[in-house]
Amino acid sequence: MNIGSRSLAAAALAVTLLSGLTAVADEPADEKEPFGRMTVDEVEKALGQPDVHVYDGNSKSTYKKGHVPGAVNRYTQDIKPATMPAKKDATLIFYCQNTF
């Protein structure tokens, strides 16, 4: 399976095991970041696996132009416990366009 354009290689990809949504800003600065990072190849291997959910944080127009297969378009402010999978050990992958 090919994700498509290698411009996704520049996308900020993050994955976390859902153990409740905790605001990073509320955590002390010396605590480890609760998110991991994945390469495009790692994301590609994870696609289609059970309990792997992919979220695209781009605008609706950018999402319509192209997105990771199976990704759901969801803005940061719309990420709430009620909009996330019920299974707490699901793998969540978030990405957005990045131009660096």
| Residue pLDDT tens, the chain, 100 long | 444 433 333 333 333 333 333 344 455 556 777 788 899 899 999 998 999 999 999 999 999 999 998 999 998 888 888 888 988 889 999 998 765 4
Whether 1 is covered by a domain: the verdict is no
Max CA pair span of the chain: 40
Is residue 33 a part of any domain in this protein? yes
* Residue 88: domain span: 6-96
Place of tokens 């792997």: 52
- Cα 28 from Cα 34, distance rounded (Å): 12
pTM check: above 0.75: no
| Residue 19: alpha-carbon gap to chain centroid | 15
Does the residue 16 lie in any domain?
Answer: yes
The number of domains in the chain is 1
- Alpha carbon distances (Å) from 5 to 8, 15, 51: 6, 20, 25
